Structures are given as C-alpha cells and as structure tokens.
Amino acid sequence: MQTIIKNKKVNVQNWGLLDYKTAWDKQAALHQSVIDEKIFNRHNEDEATATNNYLVFVEHPPVYTLGKSGKSEHLLLSEVELEQKGIQYYPNNRGGDITFHGPGQLVVYPIIDLDNFFTDIHKYLRYLEECVIQVLKEYAINAGRLVGATGVWLDAGMLEKERKICAMGIRCSRWVTMHGIAFNVNTDLNYFKNIIPCGIKDKSVTSLQKELGRQIELYEIQEKFKKHFSAIFEAELTQNKK
C-alpha cells in the first residue's frame, strides 16, 4: 500500500483583478500540477514527495459562469445583450448552476489535495461554508446553510427572507479540488437580475455591503477568511510573494 506523505501547508496566492478565462487556465494548470505530483508519487515511491496545496484569491471582471449541471436557460440574456453590457459568459466544469462573478466579490479557489486533509467531499464543502459563516460572525451577521442547497445563506428557513451571500461550485479529480466560492462583499447585485442564480427561482441574493449599509475592503475579508480557513482545515498558510 502506498504511503502518503501528508502536507498541510497551503500556498496563498492573490491574483488581483483577472479575466475569468485567464484565471481558469491558471487554476487548471495548478490543479494538473498537483495531480501530476500524485501520479509521480504512485509510480516512484522511493522518490515520493508531499503534494502541494494552493489557496487562490481573485476578483473577476463581470462574467456569468454555468456549472456542468446547470441549465443554459437560467441565463436571461442573449449573446447580443451580453456583448452590449460587456459581460462574459463561460460554461465550465465545476458543479452547480449559473452564477455571477464581478468586481467587489471575493472569489476563492482552493486547489487542495484532500489526501493531505480528509477524503470527504461533503465535509470539504461544509468546511468552506463554515469559513464564510465565521467571517460573517465577525460582523455580527448570523449566517448558515439551507437544506438541499450549497453556499452560505442569511435567514435560512424563513422562506421569503432567505437570501444567499456566498455561492459555491467545485470540481474534484483524484481528490484534488479546484473552483470554489464566490462571496458577495461589495458586489453590484443588479447583475443577478439577468440570471436565475444557482437555478433557484424563489430566493434572493445579497452582499455584505447591503447587509451592513457600508463597503468593506476585500483585503479585510480575505485576511479574515485566511484566518478561519487555517483554523478549520488545521492548515499552515504560506504567502506567495509573486
């Protein structure tokens, strides 16, 4: 049986404002590099080394993305209208339905070898949600989960008041994750009027800015997220200087 060398160090990268497709390509390259490390280790046990983990923070120009289980009709704009509004659109290979990424939203892409932590996708999703829940708690916002849905919600279980503040969609191959979460901090919520967010028709979307009545620096949220990610995943974060 192969001996797995566990590595709980996670390299943090901040890509700033970056085109979605460019970020997706960079993500895919990191994801594949970790898979390649795992394959090498499997066939070269005497030379095996610990696999790498990454935690990427990024902000995207306006873009709609559609997960592999989503429905294209949940995009309520034509190609012409998308072009007129300057919004990109990409079907991709993550789980989930349609969502929006744009300025003022903190997007987090953990590229994690779960063999270094635990091989349980549901636990992984709940841990990511918990990171956001704990960040919101620091602003006296009581957030939680909605039965039958992923992501982080406010007033879950209160029907007409339920609203989503953080969407989630991941891909996992050979226990290596990619894609992640989209946390609405100062996001322009008008963009969500052009889609049926996450394919859920009777729920609304919110942002931290809307709930607090003021803007919050993304860097501040990023630092709080890192703190809770480190504690919840019992990970050691290392900062990429590039």
CA 188 to chain CA mean position, Å: 18
Residue 30, C-beta contacts closer than 8 angstroms, at least 6 positions apart: 54, 56, 111, 178
8 Å CB contact between 34 and 115 = no
> Residue 109's closest CA among 11, 38, 184?
11
DSSP letters, 167-232, are EEEEEEETTEEEEEEEEESS--GGGGGGB-GGG-TT-EE--HHHHHTS---HHHHHHHHHHHHHHH
DSSP state at residue 83: H
8 Å CB contact between 13 and 238 = no
Beta bridge partners of 107: 58, 182
Look up 198 and say whether it is catalytic: yes
Tell me the HSE value of 234 on the side-chain side, using a 13 A CA sphere.
Answer: 6
Residue 234, C-beta contacts closer than 8 angstroms, at least 6 positions apart: 8, 117
Residues taking part in catalysis: 198
